[in-house]
Chain A
Amino acid sequence: MAYNAGTMNLGEFEHIVLLAILRLGEGAYAIPIREEIEERTGRAVARGALYTALERLESKKCLRSRMSEPLPERGGRSRRYFTVTPGGLSALRASRRSLLSLWQGVEGRLES
């Protein structure tokens, strides 16, 4: 199935995950991603949910991953680092645009 990144809808959690990866830049793998989200949003993130989201985002071509050298502190396994693809970026952009346009005119209601 082909996705049109420009019109594709991101779920809220997917949106959050992509932003966290962007914020982290080079060193984005599951552990810091989860920490970043928990720190910024103040809510607990289930590991299972995060892996599911990462897998889904990769299959939607919003994310690309590469494996590091095997590391002793991981029992000889590699880290999987994520980067946001151009497709992921435009999905984020589209998401932001629609949210911002929806926000227009209602922001004042929140202040009271």
Chain B
Amino acid sequence: VSVTRDAVPPRTAERLLTAVLGSSDWTDTIVGDLHEEYVGRAAAAPLRAGAWYWAIAIRLVTRGLIARARTATASSPRQPATLNPGDSLMRTLGLETRYAWRSIVSRPMLSATVIVTLALGLGANASVFSMIDALLLRPYTLRDVDRMALVSYALPNDEDRRESVSPADFLDMRRQSDAFEHLSVFEWWTANLVGADEPENVLGFRVSANFFATLGVEPAIGRTFQQDEETPGRDTRVILSHALWQRRFGADRGIIGRTIEIDGRQFEAIGIMPAGFDFPFGAQLWAPSAFTADQAANRRSLYLTVIGRLGAGKTLEDATSQMQVVGERLTSDHPDTNRNRVARVYTLVQGMSDLGTGPILSMWQASAGFVLLIACANVASLLLARGADRQREMAVRLAMGASRMRVVRELLLESGLLAVLAIPCALAIAWATLKVIIAYMPPTIASFVAGWYEMDVDLRLVGFTVALAIVTAVIFGVVPALQASRPRLTDTLKDGGRGATAGASKLRLRSGLVIAEIALALPLLVAAGLSVLTVHRFLNGPQGFNPDGALTMRLVLPEVKYPTPDSRFQFAHAVVERLRSMPGVTAASASNVIPAISSNSGRSFEIEGQPIPTALDRPNADYRAVTDDFFTALGIPLLRGRGFTSGDRADTQQVIIVSDAMARRYWPDRDPIGARLRFSDGEPWLTVVGISGDVIHEWFNRRNYPTVYRPYSQGPGRQMALVVRTSGDPDSLASASRAAVRSVDPSQPVYELKSMRENIRVRTIGLQYLGAVMFAFGGLALALSVVGIYGVMAYMVTQRTHEIGVRMALGATRRDVLRLTVRQTAALTAIGVTIGVVLAVLLSRVIEAGLLGLTATDPRMVAGLAAALALAALAAGYIPARRAAALDPSQALRQS
């Protein structure tokens, strides 16, 4: 779904430009010219155009700022820098700022290095903050979203578990609570849309009539549902999302009142929602949720998500305590079904959030924080070095009676200005990062992530970055400022510092910074390595099935058209036959679920002869109904026993194949073949006839999970996934496969038509992002710390030129000098790496939690990365060391 919008340059960049250039008709001309050029470029490549705009804006802003500084300096030469005791604070600050400006402009290379370093650190943090802000803090743009709540069940022993609610329980909740003005439900609905176009599968939801009132949204056209449309028979009304209306119905207002065929039934279109509204999970269609009498009495099936709007004057606490009472009453009234259910109330944002997002984003924020700290250490050491260069200046000023306070304040002001200058670059980095992050997410996944498209550089982000920049300025500025303002006056003034090696305390400080950088970089490298390895393993490691050469697609059979198990089996059988007869196809199968897709199916069961304490303690397994060729089509090995054949029919013996993990878990000391299990009391016993290999259905919590396979003929469902195995390129079979399905039923849409490899890629997209982001942080940390180490070592060598000269004059060889300098680096590196290893081990615990136990820290990897970092550090220190060794003693002595 693409949204066409007039190309508009990045707003923040434009505002920045106007702010710095000042409002004049020249500014208007410049901004207008840029706008015009941007529009031209955006037509060809929007992403690149944005980056281009930012680059030009930053260049112009820098130019403008420097020009302004020059005019300020030129128009007030030297003289105003004198301050009198009676001057106002504003005048003092103004003059001091100007002074700091001059000092920054006078050392452009150093200032640029500092600004770029800070921008990288701040930009990394800004990007992550923007994601947290959009995805966690305010993913929904609904009005008074804080008045909305989500009611769910938790288990007494698992407070964080969010279970859906059964229809009967929901109806009781609605009747028995007055804390909510509206209480409504939604349930998933994969709708098959048939019409002028090709049949299509659309994400829809069945919702209560007051669903839209709960969310406080009005339709853009038409109306929403009425109470009586919650009854079966009158529920064939449908509301369309703005996007679906535009895409599929050409934005025709006349669609209202017309009928649309969905799932084999005629629905009347009654409303169009406003653009941008797609709650929940990128919904495209909404129809009323109508319970039959049976459903309304059902307390067993938990499939409704309950959301509510708090009544006037009611708080979330009111709702929580009331729901607790209602829940307890339900438990005592219906102990057999509700015994272990505890009602919980969350805010809508909390309740809808994905449990995995929080830990991952916190991990990123922590890593970005590390990067910023390394950047701070870098900048601090640069400023320390400059402080040493300015010792004489400081000493003179202090000797002439400037207060230390004033000198410190000026130096801090300078740090602050540097940080402020880094802000636009940081925002540009964040902007580019976010664009890339958004662009690489497949739209099918992005629509599930509320707030995904809201990630942008906005005023909140600017505020965050400014605040962070100020904190940063204090972190990297204080120590150098204090140091620089405390020179030993007499020493420094005596003769330009000749002969003096940097004081012991300064050396310690600088060494401390090198150690800190190494110690901070290593944990990040380990985290990056861990993430990248994990992702690599998940993408390319063994899956338990053969992901190459397989094309997959999904479909949902409408209840109306395929009411009986036999009709569904006939459909599957016919489709599989057509697929199998296509040229190049070696096997084809149909099943309810295949590995690596976004849905799953599970059943609880009991094993014959193994007593179960209570109904609630029944064990659980993944459930698959598969046609005979399934194991061949997917490449899942059969370890023992037999596979399914066409002889397994609805009326023959009911059989199953269990996965290896299931066999080992439930029949640890006997052969499961011949054993029997059943899914519930009324259902037949199923006999185990074979054992299959384990598969990875999903990386987070379905790896080698116990699985029961059943012949499709004995349990045909409406959800269906098709697999076509070929010796060639699976993608080349796509249109023929679609046609094969259509030849069996022309109104049956298929969706998610893609290769198995692509399924896995999409399924692990979160992990890939995780890996990529951590890799970027690790790389950044490594680069920053290596540059930092080089800077400090190079500076130390310059400082010791005189000393080295003396040593060489007294007979030290080049080797000695080299060894001396390298040894120093080595010592610092060793200490840094040691601390780093400790931090890395601690951090990897956090990462392991963030990755939900997917991976364990490998000591060999930690050791390898520590060695690599140490080598990089030594290399960075070696270059200045060689320079020191190459010094000509006589020149070294004369110099400085």
Contact = CB atoms under 8 A, between A and B. Distances in A.
B424 to A, nearest CB: 15
A77 interface: yes
B28 A77 contact: yes
12 contacts: A29-B33, A30-B29, A31-B36, A47-B56, A47-B59, A48-B59, A48-B60, A73-B36, A75-B31, A79-B33, A80-B25, A80-B29
A48 B56 CA distance: 9
Contacts of A43: none
Contacts, number: 50
A47 B59 CA distance: 9
A21 to B, nearest CB: 15
A30 B60 CA distance: 15
Contacts of A47: 30, 33, 56, 59-60
Interface string B17-53: 0000000011011111101110100000000000000
Given A48-B59, A51-B29, A79-B33, 14 more contacts: A30-B30, A31-B33, A47-B56, A48-B63, A71-B32, A73-B35, A73-B36, A73-B39, A74-B36, A75-B9, A75-B35, A77-B31, A78-B32, A79-B29
Contacts of B56: 47
B8 interface: yes
A67 B32 CA distance: 12
Interface centre among A29, A30, A77, A80, by most chain B C-beta atoms within 10 angstroms, is A77
B32 A74 contact: yes
A97 B29 CA distance: 34
Contacts of B36: 31, 71, 73-74, 79
Given A31-B37, A73-B39, A75-B8, A46 B32 contact: no
Nearest to A29: B33
Interface residues of B, number: 19
A46 B59 CA distance: 9
A96 to B, nearest CB: 29
A38 interface: no
Nearest to B32: A77
Contact of B30 (A51, A67, A73): A51
A30 B36 CA distance: 11
Interface string B839-874: 000000000000000000000000000000000000
A30 B33 contact: yes
A84 to B, nearest CB: 18
Interface of B: 8-9, 25-26, 28-33, 35-37, 39, 56, 59-60, 63-64
Contacts of A71: 32, 36
Interface centre among A67, A74, A78, by most chain B C-beta atoms within 10 angstroms, is A74
Given A47-B60, A67-B25, A77 B35 contact: yes
Interface string A64-97: 0001000101110111100000000000000000
A80 B35 CA distance: 14
Contacts of A67: 25
Interface in A20-61: 29-31, 46-48, 51, 55
Contact of A74 (B25, B35, B59, B60): B35
Nearest to B66: A48
A51 B26 contact: yes
Contacts of A73: 35-36, 39
B60 A79 contact: no
A76 to B, nearest CB: 9
Interface of A: 29-31, 46-48, 51, 55, 67, 71, 73-75, 77-80
A55 B30 CA distance: 11
B59 A79 contact: no
Nearest to A34: B33
Contacts of B28: 77-78
Contacts of B25: 67, 80
Nearest to A70: B32
B74 to A, nearest CB: 15
A29 B34 CA distance: 12
Contacts of A48: 59-60, 63-64
Nearest to A75: B35
Contacts of A80: 25, 29
Contacts of A31: 33, 36-37
A7 B60 CA distance: 33
Nearest to B37: A31
A67 B33 CA distance: 13
A56 to B, nearest CB: 12
Contacts of A29: 33
Contacts of B37: 31
A77 B38 CA distance: 14
A51 B25 CA distance: 12
Contacts of A75: 8-9, 31-32, 35
A80 B28 CA distance: 9
Nearest to B64: A48
A100 B26 CA distance: 35
Interface centre among B29, B36, B39, by most chain A C-beta atoms within 10 angstroms, is B29
Nearest to A31: B33
Contacts of A77: 28-29, 31-32, 35
A67 to B, nearest CB: 7
A63 to B, nearest CB: 13
Q: Which 9 A-B pairs have the closest CB atoms?
A: A77-B32, A74-B32, A48-B63, A80-B29, A75-B35, A74-B35, A30-B33, A74-B36, A73-B39
Nearest to B34: A47
B26 A55 contact: yes
A79 B30 CA distance: 9
A48 B36 CA distance: 16
Nearest to B14: A75
A82 B30 CA distance: 14
Contacts of B29: 30, 51, 77-80
A68 B530 CA distance: 59
A79 B37 CA distance: 12
Nearest to B29: A80
Nearest to B40: A73
A48 B64 CA distance: 8
A80 B31 CA distance: 12
Contacts of B64: 48
A55 B67 CA distance: 14
Nearest to A72: B6
A11 B36 CA distance: 29
Interface centre among B30, B32, B36, B39, by most chain A C-beta atoms within 10 angstroms, is B32
A49 B32 CA distance: 17
Contacts of A30: 29-30, 33
A81 B93 CA distance: 42
Nearest to B59: A48
A34 to B, nearest CB: 9
Contacts of B9: 75
Contacts of B26: 51, 55
A16 B39 CA distance: 27
Nearest to A49: B63
Nearest to B6: A72
Contacts of B59: 46-48
A51 B37 CA distance: 15
A29 B60 CA distance: 18
Contacts of A74: 32-33, 35-36
